[in-house]
Each structure stands twice: as structure tokens, then as C-alpha cells.
Amino acid sequence: MFGLFKSSTWSRCVKGSFTAFRRRCVSHSRRFIGENTEVVGEQSLTPELRLRLFTPSCRFWTERPELWPYEDPYWAIYWPGGQALSRFLLDHPAVCRGQTVLDLGSGCGASAIAAILCGAAHVVANDIDPMAAVATHMNSELNGLQPPVCLTHNIIGSPPAAFHLILLGDMFYDQSLATSLHSWLNRCMETHGTKVLIGDPGRAQFEEHAIRRLLRPLAQFELPDSVREENYGLSCSGVWSYTPEL
């Protein structure tokens, strides 16, 4: 009995210590993001959303990359494909109203936030960088919303979960990733009838991939001048529906 008591007590102590450690890490991450980003709203396709992002006045905009203490901060940029996808959802809220939605490669969480604002029944934001989950929580709070469920493991290639809608913004930046996405999305659609929306500004890896022939264009948006400057002159960003039956 004493051995069982010790084991149970030890287990609770370890669990409590881990929880306290995790809270301290999240608190430190929130403070770091707050100190090294700015709240941005107007200079995007979705001025109604407020997001914490890198701007030219932030320290790490010009700081030496090796001084950055985390993984590459993709979550600190509002990428043009994500902007188009979020704008499309906000313009057409019925697309995700009452639906279960997965924002894959969620970054700053903008598309997940847009889905919540549009009345989605359940939203999951998935990004393999834990800092993206912290940023998504902070950005949800900025917009007066309860954060979505945030997952930080790589779900591409895992057994397909039953989502009505999967959102992908700027995920076709790498040929091998695009290929693995293509295969996994097919399984999601075959298993659950999932719908897929893709936002991309027309990068070469996207335009040249086989999946491009299976997409139906839904919308095209002209990017604001500041977004063009930050993205090497890309002028437009579009939204496509993935339709393998084409």
C-alpha cells in the first residue's frame, strides 16, 4: 500500500511539475511574442482582423538571424495565400458556418480566426511550430474570440480526421511537401467527403505541381502595396477549390 501511495504521489508531483513548467514556457513565449511583434490590421486583405506580426519596426526584422532563439517564425508573417483564404471566408461565411474546420499550416491563425468569426462549429489550427499555437491564442484574444484547438504535431500522412473543410494557405512552397499534401488530401476526401480550399499567390512550386490541374478558381484578390513589397512583387493571391474529379 505504501509503495502504491508513493507511486501515486510521485506521479502527481511529476504531472504537477510538468504542468507548471509548461505554463512558464507558454508565459515566456507570450511575453517574447508581445515584445517582438506589433499589432497590425489595416495593411492586409482583412483589415477587420488584428494580428501580432513582424513589421519593419520590430527588432528581428533586421537583426541577425542567428540571434532568433526559436524555429523560423513563419507564424509572424501574414502570407498572401492565407490573406486571400481569410478574405474569401469572411466574404462567404456560409462556406464554413456550422462546419468542422481544419486550418493546416495555420501560422498566425488568421484563417482559423476567420472561420470562427464565420460561425464554424469547431475549428482546429495545426502547425508544427509550438510558437504558432501561442501566436494563434494571442491573435484570437486580440479579436475577442476563444482560441481554436491548436495541434502542434504533423498530421499530414496520419489517418484522416473527419473535417468538413480543410484550409491550406501558402502550403505549396516546397515540391515534396506539395506531393505529400496531394496524397493526404485525396485520402481525406475519399474517406470523409472533406472539402478543401487552397490559398496561394501563384508561386512556381504551386503552378507547376500536378495538383494545380485539379483546382477550380473561386476568387482572386489584388494585394495591398505593402504586401507586394514584402513578397517580392507578387501582385495577386487566389483561392481555389480542390476538385480531383476534374
- Domain at 157, CATH number: 3.40.50.150
Residue 18 has pLDDT above 60, yes or no: no
127, 75 contact by CB (below 8 A):
yes
**For residue 203, what pLDDT is reported?**
85
Q: What mean pLDDT is predicted for residues 4-18? A: 42
- Give domain status of residue 19, yes or no: no
Confidence of residue 3 (pLDDT cuts 50, 70, 90): very low
Confidence of residue 6 (pLDDT cuts 50, 70, 90): very low
Burial class (CB in 10 A: 0-12, 13-18, 19+), 179: middle
212, 206 contact by CB (below 8 A):
yes
- Give domain status of residue 99, yes or no: yes
Q: How far is 246 from 242, CA to CA, in rounded Å?
A: 9
- Give domain status of residue 51, yes or no: no
Tally of structural domains, the chain:
1
**For residue 182, what pLDDT is reported?**
86
Per residue in 210-232, pLDDT (tens digit) is 888 899 999 999 999 989 988 88
**Which phi-psi region, left, alpha or beta, contains residue 78 (left: φ > 0; alpha: ψ -120 to 50)?**
beta
What single-letter DSSP state applies at residue 75? G
Residue 246 has pLDDT above 70, yes or no: no
Per residue in 132-161, pLDDT (tens digit) is 999 999 999 999 999 999 999 999 989 888
Q: What mean pLDDT is predicted for residues 30-53? A: 95
Residue 15 has pLDDT above 90, yes or no: no
Per residue in 55-98, pLDDT (tens digit) is 989 998 888 888 889 999 999 999 999 999 999 999 999 999 99
Confidence of residue 22 (pLDDT cuts 50, 70, 90): low
Q: Other CB atoms closer than 10 Å to residue 28's CB: what's the count?
A: 11
**For residue 229, what pLDDT is reported?**
87
**For residue 23, what pLDDT is reported?**
67
Per residue in 102-137, pLDDT (tens digit) is 999 999 999 999 999 999 999 999 999 999 999 999
Q: Which has the higher per-residue pLDDT, 116 or 202?
A: 116
- Give domain status of residue 178, yes or no: yes
- Give domain status of residue 190, yes or no: yes
Which residues partner with 104 through β-bridges?
126, 168
- Give domain status of residue 184, yes or no: yes
Give per-residue burial for 70-89: e unless 16+ CB within 10 Å, then b: eeebbbbbbbbbbbbbbbbb
Residue 156, domain extent? 80-242
- Give domain status of residue 59, yes or no: no
Confidence of residue 174 (pLDDT cuts 50, 70, 90): confident
Q: What mean pLDDT is predicted for residues 20-26? A: 64
Confidence of residue 185 (pLDDT cuts 50, 70, 90): very high
- Give domain status of residue 103, yes or no: yes
- pTM comes to 0.88
